[in-house]
């Protein structure tokens, strides 16, 4: 996908988002303390400007002559997959944190991330995983006095 195509895509996504945003902003109810502009006034204005800017970007993308030499950068499926799995791992970390606790989840997170990033040395990986959970727990729980979840599953 080249820059002009990206601009058009961004413009379309931006315009759709702006329309939905304007609809939401119009639904904001004012209180008795409301001023002349109202709680939804400025957000509506921002939505309208966003809509216009997005449409202008689409138009610019359509009018722009795409140079023949302009490289078309395809998204690497492998990189996309690694990124998606990493996001899922991070979401899993958040969901399981109260259940399994800080030490286990930090260890699990660094293990998954290091494997995704290409770590293959099993011994180093095991050491790193074990140390990361304990070290970060010590830093946050003991040094910074942050209440790190201990994990409801452990009672």
**Residue list 78-97, contact with other proteins (CB under 8 A):** 78-79, 82-83, 86-87, 90-91, 93-95, 97
Binding flag, residue 140, other proteins (CB under 8 A): yes
Nearer to other proteins among residue 144 and residue 155 (C-beta)? 144
Asked if residue 58 lies in contact with residue 8, where contact means CB atoms within 8 angstroms, the answer is: yes
Binding flag, residue 132, other proteins (CB under 8 A): yes
Q: What string of DSSP letters covers 79-144?
A: HHHHHHHHHHHHHHHHHHHHHH-HHHHHHHHHHHHHHHTT---HHHHHHHHHHHHHHHHIIIIIIS
Nearer to other proteins among residue 120 and residue 154 (C-beta)? 120
Distance from chain centroid for Cα 98: 21
Number of residues this chain uses to bind other proteins (CB under 8 A): 73
Position among 63, 71, 74, 117 found at the interface with other proteins (CB under 8 A): 117
The interface with other proteins within residues 21-50 (CB under 8 A) comprises: 21, 24-25, 28-31, 33-37, 39-40, 42-43, 46-47, 49-50
Position among 2, 19, 116, 150 found at the interface with other proteins (CB under 8 A): 116
Residues with Cβ within 8 Å of 11's Cβ and at least 6 positions away in sequence, in order, are 54, 55, 56, 57, 58, 59, 60, 61
Structure tokens that stand for 91 in this block: 């979401």
Position among 56, 138, 142, 153 found at the interface with other proteins (CB under 8 A): 56
Nearer to other proteins among residue 62 and residue 139 (C-beta)? 139
């Amino acid at each position: 996908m080249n820059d002009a195509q990206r601009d058009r895509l961004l413009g379309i996504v931006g315009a759709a988002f702006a329309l939905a945003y304007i609809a939401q902003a119009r639904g904001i109810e004012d209180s008795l303390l409301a001023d002349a502009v109202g709680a939804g006034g400025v957000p509506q204005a921002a939505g309208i400007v966003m809509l216009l800017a997005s449409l202008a970007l689409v138009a610019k993308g359509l009018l722009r002559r795409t140079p023949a030499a302009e490289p078309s950068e395809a998204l690497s499926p492998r990189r996309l997959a690694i990124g998606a799995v990493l996001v899922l791992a991070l979401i899993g970390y958040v969901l399981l944190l109260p259940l399994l606790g800080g030490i286990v989840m930090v260890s699990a997170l660094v293990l998954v991330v290091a494997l995704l990033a290409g770590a293959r040395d099993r011994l180093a990986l095991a050491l790193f995983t074990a140390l990361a959970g304990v070290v970060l727990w010590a830093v946050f729980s003991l040094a910074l006095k942050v209440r790190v979840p201990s994990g409801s599953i452990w009672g």
